[in-house]
Amino acid sequence: MQIPTLKKSYLLIATVLIGLNAQANEWQPVEVEQLIELPVNLIEKRIQQDFNLSPMASKLSHIESALVSQGEKIKALQAIVQEAKDNEMIDEKVNLVKVKSDFLDNMQEGQLLRQKSLSQKIDLYQAVLEKLYQQQNRQQSSALYQVKQQQEAARERMEKVMAKVDAAMSEQGLTQTTPYADEFTKNLAKINKLKEAIQSHKANMSPMVNGIEVSTEEYVRQLLMQVASEQSLLDQEALMLSYMSRLVALDAQALEYAINIEDEDASGSKIESTTTPATSVSLFL
Amino acid sequence: MKFFNTFALIAVVSVFSTSAQADNNLLSLKNLERERAKFLHTMLSDADSPDQKRQQILMSQRHLIDMERMVIRDDRLTKSQSDLVKSAFLQFDLTFLMHSSAEQSAQPLAHWMKQVGMDTQSVINAKPGFRK
């Protein structure tokens, strides 16, 4: 079947628009490979920065400003209808329920976006942790790592007896140190100073959790726990939201009831049951 | 054809340079092995006078102490997968003879003999001849 050119163009535009709409509230997190290249302290900041630049974050920001203005509107309407009786200021009361409902709709949308962003963060942290474990396992199982471990063990063992060896040499009359030993000792002091400077450099700081230095894996695990706890609190907020929705529904129900009563009073449609057999007896006598 | 020749030459040169680099990684360990062999040879030899022997042993011990420390600090060794490196660290007592003998409060030669399974009795009982 031949589709006319104009129709094809419309179809293309429609497809692009649908695609844009679908992406409008999305967040495409940064690649895991890029994250694990960063100093661990910066992982969280990089993710947050990436999120802040996403359409999802700007949508959340719009929702937040809408919630603020709707909240103020609700307060103003509440102040107006506060003193009104059940059958008074019905329009204002209807308006209040409507604004409350819109407020809750926005809040629910924000809630869903936050839930989505948190589950994306959880996936991201889990992927980072997985990569870190893989890297560590690969490193630890390598032959070179084994040799390095053996050298470190040997170095520790040797360092314990170095003073004893030097003392033994002195006893044999060799008090003069070798050029290598002299230079090494001089350089060692300088190296230690450089090491201290590197260790205290802010760009090389180990990750800290509650003031305690932790490993990279531990830090990412803590971040994961933090996001999981945020998610748990968000679930609790969702429950609050559902109760708030229930209250608005009850308000609307009560209002509907009040409006119906008023209508009935105004139209006088209420059937007065004054004509009873007892009152009608005289008609038959 | 000329291109392939150049390519082959580059490949050969790079193989040799890699092998030379791998060899350089083991330099400190090989020096230590040679120095220890010389030390043990001096200890077991009676070609020199006692005074000359004593001087040579002292000098060799001093070299060995430095070299053992060089090897233990040499990070190039851990970039090698050579069996020489693996066995050097596994056999700490033999490789780092000066430090391990001081650790055990023993004379270097006595400690070495113990490590290779020789004692005074086995030396006394030994007879010159062909290995059976």
Give per-residue pLDDT as tens, A187-213. Answer: 888 888 888 888 777 776 667 777 777
Is A34 at the interface with chain B, CB within 8 A? no
Contact: A162, B99; criterion CB under 8 Å = yes
The H or E element spanning position A147 is helix A143-171
Note the pLDDT of residue A103.
Answer: 92
Is A1 at the interface with chain B, CB within 8 A? no
Range of weakest confidence among A72-76, A197-201, B33-37: A197-201
Is A161 at the interface with chain B, CB within 8 A? yes
Mean pLDDT, range B42-58, rounded to an integer: 89
Note the pLDDT of residue A138.
Answer: 81
Give per-residue pLDDT as tens, A138-180. Answer: 877 788 888 888 899 999 999 999 989 888 888 877 777 788 8
Is pLDDT of B15 > 70?
no
- Smallest Cβ–Cβ distance between B92 and the set A147, A154, A181 belongs to A154
Say what percent of chain B tops pLDDT 90: 45
Residue B61: closest CA among chain A residues belongs to which residue?
A169
Is A163 at the interface with chain B, CB within 8 A? no
Q: How many CB atoms are closer than 10 A to CB A161? A: 19
Contact: B86, A150; criterion CB under 8 Å = yes
Is B54 at the interface with chain A, CB within 8 A? no
Note the pLDDT of residue A17.
Answer: 45
Note the pLDDT of residue B91.
Answer: 93
Is A148 at the interface with chain B, CB within 8 A? yes
Contact: B77, A151; criterion CB under 8 Å = yes
Is B51 at the interface with chain A, CB within 8 A? no
Four-point Cα dihedral A96, A102, A106, A112, nearest 10: 110
Range of weakest confidence among A75-79, A226-230, A238-242, B118-122: B118-122
Tell me the nearest-neighbour CA distance from B102 into chain A, angstroms: 6
Question: Which of 200-239 (A) contact B at CB < 8 A?
Answer: none
Note the pLDDT of residue A87.
Answer: 74
Instruction: Name residues whose C-beta falls within 8 Å of residue B111's C-beta, 6 or more positions apart in sequence.
Output: B93, B97, B100, B101, B104
For residue B68, which residues of chain A lie inside 8 Å, CB to CB? 158
Residue A162: closest CA among chain B residues belongs to which residue?
B99
Is pLDDT of B108 > 80?
yes
Is pLDDT of B10 > 70?
no
Tell me the nearest-neighbour CA distance from A192 into chain B, angstroms: 15
- Comparing CA positions, the residue from B78, B88, B83, B119 lying closest to residue A145 is B78
Say what percent of chain B tops pLDDT 70: 82
CA distances from A15 to A9, A21, A56 (A): 10, 10, 21
Is A153 at the interface with chain B, CB within 8 A? yes
Cα four-point dihedral sign A171, A174, A175, A178: negative
Note the pLDDT of residue B72.
Answer: 92
Q: Check: CB of residue B95 under 8 Å from CB of residue B32.
A: yes
B18 pLDDT band, cuts 50/70/90, is low
Mean pLDDT, range A95-110, rounded to an integer: 92
Is pLDDT of B42 > 80?
yes
Give per-residue pLDDT as tens, A27-69. Answer: 888 888 888 888 777 888 888 899 999 999 999 999 999 999 9
Mean pLDDT, range A78-106, rounded to an integer: 87
Contact: B77, A174; criterion CB under 8 Å = no
Note the pLDDT of residue A18.
Answer: 45
Q: How far apart are CA A89 and CA A95, in angstroms?
A: 10
Average pLDDT, chain A: 82
Q: How far apart are CA A47 and CA A52, in angstroms?
A: 9
Mean pLDDT, range A241-245, rounded to an integer: 92
Is pLDDT of A19 > 50?
no
For residue A154, which residues of chain B lie inside 8 Å, CB to CB? 72, 89, 92, 96
A267 pLDDT band, cuts 50/70/90, is low
Note the pLDDT of residue A40.
Answer: 78
Is A150 at the interface with chain B, CB within 8 A? yes
Q: Which two tokens stand for residue A187?
A: 């350089």
Q: How far apart are CA A68 and CA A14, in angstroms?
A: 34
Contact: B61, A169; criterion CB under 8 Å = yes
Residue B80: closest CA among chain A residues belongs to which residue?
A144
Q: How far apart are CA B107 and CA B45, in angstroms?
A: 17
State the complex-level ipTM: 0.74
